[in-house]
Amino acid sequence: MKKILLCAASALVLAGCATGPVGMKGASLEHFPSANQDSRAQFLILHYTVLDYPGSVRALTQAGRGVSAHYLVRDEPALVYQLVDENRRSWHAGNSYWAGNQNLNSASIGIEIVNLGWKDAPEGRVYAPFPQAQIDEVIRLAKDIQARHKILPERVLGHADIAPGRKQDPGPMFPWKQLFDAGIIPWPDAAQVAEKKTFFEANGLPDAAWAQDKLARFGYNISHSGQWDDGTRDVIQTFQMKYRPAKYDGALDAETAALIDVATTKGGMLMAPQAEPAKK
């Protein structure tokens, strides 16, 4: 009788109390949940599709394309579609790196956002905007994923962050600041940035080795050549697109140096205070 009661109480955990799951060669396996585990998903990566909605669906679902994502967020109307189960690996990150972690497909959830990306115009490269309703859906989805998988705020990244130079998405038109306001990601403290900017304007800019060391500590895959090489400019441009999208030329100016310095200083990256839920 005691064994029957135990089996009934654990029916939601075990497939069968008497025998347990069947393993190799028909062996009986017991189920002992370990406290020493966490989610497979350690990163949340945001992309844009560079395609319209029908093209995005085809690219992300058809065999032979070699690319996928866990979710697709449509633009008009703003809807969310799941393409890959979160427990399975989707092919969205490719050759990627962040803070010592490589090839992030196996450790991340990917969100593709329907957006045409960029086009070259007489005035230069022009990026497509994101409808606010679409951004609202991205924020809602990101908060849900982050909460369920306990993804650290500093691990909510853009494709460009994990592959600078090779990728630009989600681009300078993506409003990362709104994700900060929603409590999803940290942001450089504005007061510290203003103070550091004044310092660099008065005392001159740091050299390439300083920028490379700081950006590597922040998480980027960057060379330590000590030179203003193309790879270093790509990383600076990626950083600017996220934290200073008004100007993203890849050059180290006083404001960019201040942002980098604050972002890599203890206490420099802040989380937005979130309102307490209303009491019933």
| Cis geometry, peptide bond prior to residue 21 (ω within 30 degrees of 0) | no
Active-site option among 30, 86, 112, 201: 112
Q: 45 near 109, Cβ under 8 Å? A: yes
Residue 184 and residue 177: Cα distance in Å, rounded?
10
Angle at Cα 213 formed by Cα 181 and Cα 247, nearest 5°? 45
Q: Residue 150: count other Cβ atoms within 10 Å of its Cβ.
A: 10
User: HEC string of 201-253?
Assistant: HHHCCCCHHHHHHHHHHHCCCCCCCCCCCHHHHHHHHHHHHHHCCCCCCCCCC
112 is catalytic: yes
- Reduced to 3 states (helix: H, G, I; strand: E, B; else coil), residue 158 is strand
> Among 189, 178, 172, which residue's Cα sits nearest to residue 239?
172
Beta bridge partners of 47: 112
Q: Max alpha carbon distance in the chain (Å)?
A: 82
Residue 55 and residue 51: Cα distance in Å, rounded?
6
Angle at Cα 44 formed by Cα 97 and Cα 33, nearest 5°? 105
Q: 171 near 126, Cβ under 8 Å? A: no
* Tokens, residue 3: 């064994």
Catalytic residue numbers read 112
